[in-house]
Chain A
Amino acid sequence: MMNLVLSNPEVTNSDNFISLHSLLSKNFGSLDLNQNIELSITLEEDTRLNILDDLFDFGFLNSSIKISLKKDSFLLYRILSKTSENKDIICEKRLHILCQEIGSDAKIQCAWMGQSKSNFKFISFQEHSAPKTSSDLVIKSVLLDDSRLFSENLIKIHKNAQGVKACEENKNLLLGSGARALSVPKLEVEANDVSCKHGSATSRISKDQLFFLQSKGIELEIAKNMLIDSFLKFS
Chain B
Amino acid sequence: MAPLLSQDIMLMPLQTIADQQIKTTQMNTFSLYDYYKQFSNEEVHLAYQGAFDSHTLASLSHYVRAASKKFQQVQRRVFFIFMELAQNIAMYSAEQEKPDKQSGKGIMMLRTNGSEYIIHSGNSIDLPECQALKNKLDYINSLDREALRRYKRQERAKSRGDKGNAHIGLIEIALSTSVPLAIQFTPIDDQQAFYELCTYLPLQPSN
Do A and B come from the same complex? no
Interface residues of A (CB under 8 A from B): none
